[in-house]
Amino acid sequence: MWRGKTLLRLLRIQRVLVRHGLDEVIIATHFLRPLRFIFYLLPRGSDRSAPIGVRIRLALQELGPIFVKFGQAVSTRRDLLPPDIADELAKLQDQVPPFPAEEAVAILDAAYGQSVNAVFERFDFQPLAAASIAQVHSAALPGGQEVIVKLLRPGVRRLIEQDLDVLYAIAGLADRYWKNSRRLRPLELVAEYEKTIIDELDLMREGANAAQLKRNFENSEMLYVPEVFWDFCRPTVLVQERIYGVPISDMKSLRAAGTNIQRLAENGVEIFFTQVFRHNFFHADMHPGNIFVQTEDPEHPKYAAVDFGIVGTLSPSDQQYLAGNFLAFFDRDYHKIAKLHLDSGWVPPETRIDELESAIRSVCEPIFNKPLSEISFAQVLIRLFETARRFNMEIQPQLILLQKTLFNIEGLGRELYPQLDLWKTAQPVLQRWMDEQLGGRAVLESLRENLPQLRDALRELPGVIRHLAEQASQGKLQMQMESTELRQMRQLMLQQQRQRFFLGVGGTSVVSGTVLLGLGSAIPLAWVMIAAGVAMVTSGRPTGSR
């Protein structure tokens, strides 16, 4: 577990923290106390002359991408940090020191196999922005199209892999010796994070993410996504339309432009929930450095997003449970929330639902219907985590990106419009999605998708009926089977036969009813046949798919 390179990296981390005078901060952190011996292995000459916020920022910059991204995420939570530290960490969003222009040109020459001047009409050697994994230059394509050129930092993969080894080593220790490891699943959390950050190192994948998001919000009045110029993209190079707008963090400029801040904040919430539930494809790196506002129509401001290296998706079951939890919360239906947690397997099956309901009520009720300015989701999460420990609730690694993004959304909302009513804005989006998933249109769409299976069932129906008749005439259906295994096999076969029968007859009924509707005759009978057919198809579905 603790390879030589991992130990060397830990020592380098220790040296950086000591050099910036942060060793005492780390030693005071409860979770890291078992590793405090590391901080005594080398001399402790440190510089504490700079403010603490500056020292933290410089240390994170020096330590590399994983640490910078942590600083970016934390920087959005000004309700949790002193203002001086929050201001310094905000600089990590797009003010990381750039790598030299000569290296940028070398990357482009190698990627294209020709001089950068032969590819672009203009290439600006001074970086437009620099971040932990890549930096961005402005340029113009032949013909004058203004673009940005995003380049991976040299050596960034090697450094990230080193830090992932460190995270795995620490997570392995936690998994072996920490009593909460079964619930918090540290190795799975690191594995989930590894997938996310390694995906960021392929800029072709980022381009595909941007293209998908652009299709999802085509002609949207709330969000604009820049175009990708695929002929110029490579795994280490992304070329995208250059957009112009006011940084979301520049409140002074937004107000000077007469921007409708309340609408902007509400649109941000709607965009998030639309991505998560309607599209199941959400931008998961929504720190302020990646979000701009187009204020040409200040009464209807429009977001413009960049940096699509991290996106998230959810399984259909996670979507259903999350939407159900949100809506139940809006309705103060804490019994339903508790039941959903049990049904999803997020808490052990022996959990008493009334106790879980009471615990959730005690956390949620005090914050209900309060404006964002009066709510600290951080405090709510802390109390929920305490509740989770009590009921042995397991962390869901697949939801980490969603939780991180929701955390960022709250931070942005607090900065934009503290009176934002998160519940009022989100509830209609969720309700529409649930109606679409469970309504009549969803049933018809499911039937359309399952028509091939229904067709096959209809083809088999005569043979199944003939086989059942033969078995009945020969008395074989009444055979007594002494073997438990044979009885179980017979039950399974009979169940499958019944399923085929229901699917076949139900499919025939649906098709016949649809034909009658198309002919415009016997319409009441047609709807009865369709309804009966849907009921039979539902009854005939295999149990595991319900």
- Classify 17 as helix, strand or coil: helix
pTM value is: 0.68
Do residue 485 and residue 431 come from a single domain? no
Do residue 415 and residue 468 come from a single domain? no
Tokens of 11: 């020592």
Closest CA to 284 of 220, 188, 196, 153: 196
Does some domain include residue 207? no
Do residue 289 and residue 428 come from a single domain? yes
CB-CB neighbours of 219 under 10 Å: 4
> What local confidence, expressed as pLDDT, does residue 526 receive?
58
Cα separation of 277 and 324, whole Å? 11
> What local confidence, expressed as pLDDT, does residue 545 receive?
41
| Cβ-Cβ contacts under 8 Å for 109 (sequence gap 6 or more) | 115, 116
Do residue 303 and residue 385 come from a single domain? yes
Do residue 396 and residue 529 come from a single domain? no
Sign of the dihedral defined by the CA atoms of residues 518, 519, 520, 526, in that order? negative
Does some domain include residue 64? yes
Do residue 304 and residue 414 come from a single domain? yes
Sign of the dihedral defined by the CA atoms of residues 478, 497, 535, 327, in that order? positive
Does some domain include residue 149? no
Do residue 425 and residue 303 come from a single domain? yes
Q: Tell me which of 285, 297, 331, 343 is the catalytic residue.
A: 285
Do residue 404 and residue 485 come from a single domain? no
Does some domain include residue 380? yes
Does some domain include residue 144? no
Quote the number of domains for the chain: 4
Does some domain include residue 101? no
Do residue 370 and residue 264 come from a single domain? yes
**Residues of the chain whose pLDDT is less than 70?**
1-4, 6, 23-47, 73-81, 93-95, 170, 173-175, 177-186, 368-373, 375-386, 388-389, 394-400, 438-461, 464, 467-546
> What local confidence, expressed as pLDDT, does residue 292 receive?
95
SS (H, E, C) 114-134: CCHHHHCCEECCCCCEECCCE
> What local confidence, expressed as pLDDT, does residue 421 receive?
73
CB-CB neighbours of 233 under 10 Å: 20
> What local confidence, expressed as pLDDT, does residue 169 receive?
76
Domain boundary (408, 438, 468) is at 438
Question: What residue type is assigned to position 421 of the chain?
Answer: D
Do residue 450 and residue 414 come from a single domain? no
> What local confidence, expressed as pLDDT, does residue 192 receive?
74
Domain boundary (60, 75, 93) is at 93
Task: For residue 43, give its domain range.
Answer: 4-93
Closest CA to 138 of 150, 130, 153: 150
> What are the pLDDT digits (tens) for 449-503?
666 666 666 666 677 677 666 666 655 545 544 445 556 666 666 666 666 666 6
- Asked if residue 20 lies in contact with residue 60, where contact means CB atoms within 8 angstroms, the answer is no
Domain boundary (62, 93, 124) is at 93
Query: What's the length of the chain?
Result: 546
Do residue 411 and residue 282 come from a single domain? yes
> What local confidence, expressed as pLDDT, does residue 384 receive?
64
Q: Is 285 a catalytic residue?
A: yes
- Asked if residue 375 lies in contact with residue 367, where contact means CB atoms within 8 angstroms, the answer is yes
Tokens of 299: 């009464």
Does some domain include residue 301? yes
Do residue 465 and residue 385 come from a single domain? no
> What are the pLDDT digits (tens) for 390-411?
777 766 656 667 777 777 777 7
Q: Give burial (CB, 10 Å; 0-12/13-18/19+) of 215.
A: exposed
Does some domain include residue 420? yes
Place of tokens 């699509």: 308
